[in-house]
């Protein structure tokens, strides 16, 4: 990858209450070391508070989903314009929890990524295989199929987004992919991105997510084509998240 900072993004998922969220953001914002790009993707109701708290710090704010539609009659959805108003820089799209619970197809995920880009946000596009798919030797095929509609967005779009590889069997299980397993998938993703974006694909940040902890982060981040991490559980503890940020330098 080019010499840019690694990117470490916390995904709080549906955790927290207002008071806890405020304290956690303050602790993390105060401790972010230089030499890493860091962000927290928080639940929608906390975006305004968190944006205010990180203002003037090195910590960026993101959301966990966005509608693929412009403003309109879409009950329960949140538009990219709304996220931008609340200071979001990043938005996660296609997290496996949404693919599974909300039947989000890869085409819908790519449409969300495109919408995020139109609104000036950086989409973090998640892909990842189920355990059964890995055991059947289908990992790279699954990732390739999930990425295909995103690749179709074209070179310019690809250079403005982030991809996160999150093996579903490693999410919240304490069972991380090995560095070799992650690097194999990241290498395949880089090759696919190069086919569309040429050498510019080397600047597209590829994150690994799935039970990243302070103890495992440094080894993972040393892996080839691993440009940072998407952190779930460990982003709910300031010390752990900051240690992971430190490991990314």
Q: Does 226 bind ligand G3H (CB under 6 A)?
A: no
Q: What's 172's DSSP letter?
A: T
Of the residues 54, 231, 245, 248, which one makes contact with ligand G3H according to CB under 6 A: 231
Catalytic-labelled residue, pool 95, 97, 104, 133: 95
Residue partners of 101: CB distance under 8 A and separation at least 6: none
Q: How far apart are CA 186 and CA 223, in angstroms?
A: 9
Q: Which is nearer to ligand G3H, 115 or 176 (CB)?
A: 176
Of the residues 139, 211, 216, 225, which one makes contact with ligand G3H according to CB under 6 A: 211
Q: Which is nearer to ligand G3H, 69 or 179 (CB)?
A: 179
Q: Does 11 bind ligand G3H (CB under 6 A)?
A: yes
Closest contact distance (angstroms) between CB of 9 and ligand G3H is: 8
Closest contact distance (angstroms) between CB of 245 and ligand G3H is: 14
Q: What residues numbered 75-114 form the site for ligand G3H, per CB under 6 A? A: 95
Q: Does 209 bind ligand G3H (CB under 6 A)?
A: yes
Tokens (6 digits) for 209: 């997510």
Q: How far apart are CA 125 and CA 122, in angstroms?
A: 9
15 catalytic residue (yes or no): no
Secondary structure (H, E, C), 166-232: CCHHHCCCCCCCCHHHHHHHHHHHHHHHHHHHHHHHHHCCEEEECCCCHHHHHHHHHCCCCCEEEEC
95 catalytic residue (yes or no): yes
Q: Does 172 bind ligand G3H (CB under 6 A)?
A: yes
Catalytic-labelled residue, pool 104, 133, 166, 184: 166
Q: What is the DSSP string of 17-38?
A: -HHHHHHHHHHHHHHPPTTEEE
Tally of CB atoms within 10 A around 210: 28
Closest contact distance (angstroms) between CB of 234 and ligand G3H is: 6
Q: What's 187's DSSP letter?
A: H
> Which stretches of the chain bind ligand G3H, using CB under 6 A?
11, 95, 166, 171-172, 209-212, 230-234
**Which residues are designated catalytic?**
95, 166
């Amino acid at each position: 990858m080019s010499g840019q900072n690694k990117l470490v993004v916390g995904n709080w998922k549906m955790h927290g209450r207002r008071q806890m969220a405020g304290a956690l953001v303050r602790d993390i914002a105060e401790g972010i070391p230089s030499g890493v790009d860091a962000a927290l993707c928080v639940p929608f109701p906390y975006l305004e508070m968190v944006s205010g708290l990180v203002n003037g710090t090195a910590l960026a704010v993101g959301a966990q989903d966005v509608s693929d539609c412009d403003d309109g009659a879409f009950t329960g959805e949140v538009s990219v314009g709304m996220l931008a108003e609340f200071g979001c820089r990043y938005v996660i799209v296609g997290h496996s929890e949404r693919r599974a619970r909300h039947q989000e197809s890869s085409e819908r995920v790519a449409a969300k990524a495109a919408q995020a880009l139109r609104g000036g946000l950086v989409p973090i596009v998640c892909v990842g295989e189920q355990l059964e798919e890995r055991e059947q030797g289908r990992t790279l095929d699954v990732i390739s199929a999930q990425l295909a509609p995103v690749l179709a967005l074209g070179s310019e779009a690809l250079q403005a987004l982030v991809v996160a590889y999150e093996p579903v069997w490693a999410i919240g299980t304490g069972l991380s992919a090995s560095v070799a397993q992650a690097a194999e998938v990241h290498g395949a993703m880089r090759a696919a991105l190069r086919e569309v974006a040429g050498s510019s694909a080397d600047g597209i940040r590829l994150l690994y997510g799935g039970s990243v902890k302070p103890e495992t982060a440094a080894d993972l981040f040393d892996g080839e084509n691993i440009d940072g991490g998407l952190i779930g559980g460990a982003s709910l503890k300031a010390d752990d998240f900051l240690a992971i940020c430190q490991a990314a330098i």
